[in-house]
Chains A and B, each alone.
Chain A
Amino acid sequence: MSKDNQILEEFTSKEYEHGWSVNYEADEAPVGLNEDIIRWISVKKEEPQWLLEWRLKAFKTWQSMTEPEWANVQYPKIDLQALKYYSAPKQKSKPKSLDELDPELLAIYERLGISLNEQKRLQGIAVDAVLDSVSVATTFKETLSKLGIVFCSFSEAVKEHPELVKKYLGSVVPITDNYYAALNSAVFSDGSFCYIPKGVRCPMELSTYFRINAANTGQFERTLIVAEDESYVSYLEGCTAPQRDENQLHAAVVEIYAGAHAEVKYSTVQNWFPGDKNGKGGIYNFVTKRGICAGDHSKISWTQVETGSAVTWKYPSCILKGDHSIGEFYSVAVTNNYQQADTGTKMIHIGKNTKSRIVSKGISAGKSQNSYRGQVQVMKRATNARNFSQCDSLLMGDRCGAHTFPYIDIHNPTAKVEHEATTSKIGEDQIFYCNQRGIATEDAVALIVNGYAKEVLNQLPMEFAVEAQKLLALTLEGSVG
């Protein structure tokens, strides 16, 4: 065994930090998946008839579909009939304000380092906290509503702004899109809704924090972001889950709509429980995220730091419909131990002079498998489309794998598409150089990896970037050193 691998072997895996769970009284759906369960969810959420019908239609569509198998991931089939599709902490009465929120729930978020107390929070970030199937609190609602911005849980949006939800729900990710999106459309329970009116620049970061607590429950949240013409919003998403021996399913859908000259930045730091050192347990993260640059000169930018989950299947995409619209995808995906990630993006150029940029940095350690899968499609009408893709892989040790699957599909001769890919190994030389300056191996690896991922981390809002850097180091602590 070479020295490199010895270094990798020497460190034992660091435990997942957010693996605890709490016991609270929950309101849960019975186990299983059928039309009655869907009706049960809809009644529970006091939904209008049109939404129930939409769910049932999605369910029918889903029944005719089969689970996709093209991704470069392997896992035992999930028994969807063995899951619960709704679980919510029982709250004595619906709290009218944050002050009335059950202290037990507040404590859960405090422990995760997310304060729901507006006074205590750094100004500049509003939070929607989603626990299992429901949103438990949203901060800064009043401040935002003065500007006409709607930021609330999805359920609340269905009640308060049905016309907006009806107009945009399923407009970017139709129910027929794919197996998991159809399933989500049938059983989704909650999520965040965000609406930025014309000409408004959202003055703070909006963020949703997803936490799975309940066992044997699938989490299916739905996020919808609508940015009207000339508006701007930066949106953050964070997630964690308790450490459990069985696998848990998370199948979310995120839809983004950007009007003319609007800009949406969507950042994710995904830290679902990845399973233990031996590959036991962990979240199956099968997510559909898509944005449409509907108006001219609009821009959607996805930034993701993927550190958790046992299996990740996720391709945040942009449909560049408006002329001069811009789509960006910045990703760092880290896999360690037995994690598997198949992630990337799709850039679909429809409008003229559209531009896309893809920067993907994969880091694999342990016995993990890390795949980049990206598609760049240039339609007939898309004169002068430009794409630049940079896909880098960093390997630690020789038992992990990195794979790149770029698909390029061009129907207009004026398109310029560039693809660059590199694979490197964390060098023993680099680690020794750091050691020789007094830096411990673990810190050396953190430095080297953060340097490697810098271009992506730089895209994150400051507070998140620091968090993401720590998370990268933590995920790899135990794999390399």
Chain B
Amino acid sequence: MLSIKNLHASIEGTPILRGINLEIKAGEVHAIMGPNGSGKSTLASVLAGREEYEVTEGAVLFQGKDLLEMAPEERAREGVFLAFQYPVEIPGVSSTNFLRTAVNQVREHRGLEALDAVKFLSLMKEKMKLVEIDQKLLSRALNEGFSGGEKKRNEIFQMAMLEPKLSILDETDSGLDIDALKVVSNGVNQLKSAENATIVVTHYQRLLDYIVPDYVHVLYKGQIVKSGTKDLALELEEKGYDWIKEEVESKAIV
């Protein structure tokens, strides 16, 4: 589904991603971990098409198409969804209105007819149950004055509404209380199918108890320096990143 080859990206001339290789197949869950500043959010942003990042080398294929050629909204319509680490507030625009615009533009792209108000509201009701989000929150302006946890929950609600092929969750777990973490993970799991794939970026092994990954990758200084199974996450939880950093440095010396 997603094939990243030797991806290099920089911002304002500073290289951040330095040769990422990653293959993701439909139905898989990949976890990406790594110390602060290693480039996890950058990778997510580059995949979503944020233009400040300049791709200097490499290629990304999404469902056989050149992802890097597409405008951000095209990527979204093709099925790439990013749950932001820091969701943006849009004053005066209700979540309902925002999502209706989004859902209908995505549907149009997929050759489906636009949902009328009634159909849209019933779809909302159905998806609201999935992440147990309060109707009241959705009638307020988008993310405006939402608590950190509410914003994160709203991201997953939007994901449920848009039914993406590839979801990238950037630290969706941070800021969620224990109950919310379970609810949100449960929502993500229910949305999982053999046709879609998920990338979860996290610092905490705990999330991976709920959303069980098929692979765990460690990103360090803009490269994937280690890949493994769920056990790697446990090992990191126990030992931290120092041993990996040492491994990388010693290799560099040799």
A and B bind:
yes
Q: A residues bordering B, Cβ < 8 Å?
A: 3, 427, 429-430, 432-441, 443, 447-448, 450-455
16 more contacts with CB within 8 A, not counting A432-B88, A439-B102, are: A427-B88, A430-B90, A433-B88, A434-B102, A435-B49, A437-B76, A438-B102, A439-B105, A443-B101, A443-B105, A447-B93, A447-B98, A451-B141, A452-B91, A453-B92, A454-B92
Of the A-B pairs whose beta carbons lie under 8 Å apart in the complex, a sample of 10, sorted by A's number, is A434-B98, A434-B102, A436-B75, A438-B76, A438-B103, A443-B105, A448-B93, A451-B142, A453-B92, A454-B92
Chain A proximity mask over B83-98: 1 for CB below 8 Å, otherwise 0: 0100110111100011
Residues of B with C-beta under 8 A to A433? 84, 87-88, 90
Is B71 an interface residue when CB atoms closer than 8 A count as contact?
Answer: yes
Taking CB atoms, residues of chain B closer than 8 Å to A435 are 49, 71-73, 76
CB-defined contacts of B231 to chain A, threshold 8 Å: none
Give the complex CA separation of A432 and B90 in angstroms: 12
For A434, the chain B residues whose CB sits under 8 A away are 90, 98, 102
Residues from chain A with a CB closer than 8 A to the CB of B106 are 437-438
**A3 vs B109: C-alpha distance in the bound complex, in angstroms?**
26
Our pick among A436, A438, A439, A450 for the contact of B92 (Cβ within 8 Å) is A450
Q: A3-B51, A433-B84, A451-B141 are in contact. Are A440 and B91 (CB under 8 A)?
A: no
Tell me the B73-127 residues at the A interface (CB within 8 Å).
73, 75-77, 81-82, 84, 87-88, 90-93, 97-99, 101-103, 105-106, 109
Closest to A443 in B: B101
Query: Which residue in chain A gives the minimum CB-CB distance to B51?
Result: A3
Q: Which residues of A contact B91 (CB under 8 A)?
A: 451-452
- Chain B, residue nearest A435 (CB): B72
Nearest-neighbor residue (CB-CB) of A437 within chain B: B102
CB pair A3 B52 closer than 8 Å: yes
Nearest CB of B to A330, in Å: 14
A430, A434, A437, A448 pick with most chain B CB within 10 angstroms: A437
Q: Any chain A CB within 8 A of the CB of B50? A: yes
Q: Is the Cβ of B158 less than 8 Å from the Cβ of A437?
A: yes
Which of chain A's residues have a CB closer than 8 A to the CB of B87?
Answer: 433
Instruction: Please tell me if B162 contacts chain A, counting CB pairs below 8 Å.
Output: yes
Q: Which of B51, B88, B162 contacts A429 (CB 8 A)?
A: B88
In the complex, residue of chain A having the shortest beta-carbon distance to the beta carbon of B109:
A438
A444–B142 Cα distance when bound, in Å, is 13
Using Cβ atoms and an 8 Å threshold, which residues of chain A touch B82? 436
Check A437–B92 contact: CB distance below 8 A. no
| Interface presence of B48 (CB below 8 A) | yes
Chain A proximity of B143: nearest CB distance (Å): 9
- Contacting pair A447 B71 (CB below 8 A): no
Residue in B closest to A452 when the chains form the complex, CB atoms: B92
Which of B52, B73, B98, B158 has a CB less than 8 Å from the CB of A440? B73
Given contacts A3-B52, A447-B98, whether A438 and B93 have CB atoms under 8 Å apart is: no
Measured in the bound complex, the distance between the Cα atoms of B105 and A455 in whole Å is 26
| Cβ–Cβ < 8 Å partners of B93 in chain A | 447-448, 450-451
Which of B73, B76, B97, B103 is close to A441, meaning CB atoms less than 8 Å apart?
B73
Nearest A residue to B108 via CB reads A438
In the complex, which of the residues B52, B84, B162 contacts A438, with contact meaning CB atoms closer than 8 Å?
Answer: B162
**Judging by beta carbons under 8 Å apart, are A440 and B84 in contact?**
no
| Most chain A CB atoms below 10 A, which of B48, B51, B81, B106 | B51
> Which are the 10 A-B pairs with shortest beta-carbon distances?
A451-B92, A451-B93, A435-B72, A437-B102, A438-B76, A454-B92, A438-B106, A433-B88, A435-B73, A438-B77
State the CA gap A454–B92 with chains docked (Å).
Answer: 6
A467 to chain B, nearest CB (A): 17
Q: How far is the CB of A466 from chain B (nearest CB, A)?
A: 13
- A435→B77 CA distance, assembly (Å): 9
Contacts of A440 in B (CB 8 A): 73, 105
Chain B residues, Cβ within 8 Å of A448: 90, 93
Residues of A within 8 A of B101 (CB): 439, 443, 447
Smallest Cβ distance from A290 to chain B, in angstroms?
Answer: 30
Across the two chains, which residue of chain A brings its CB closest to B97?
A: A447
Determine which of A430, A438, A451 lies in contact with B105 in the assembled complex, contact meaning CB atoms within 8 Å: A438
CB-CB under 8 A from B88, the residues of chain A are: 427, 429-430, 432-433
Q: Which residues of B lie under 8 Å from residue A451 when comparing CB positions?
A: 90-93, 141-142
- CB of A436 within 8 A of CB of B76, answer yes
Q: Would A436 and B90 be within 8 Å (CB), given that A3-B51, A3-B52, A443-B101 are in contact?
A: no
Q: Contacts of A427 on B, CB cut-off 8 Å?
A: 88
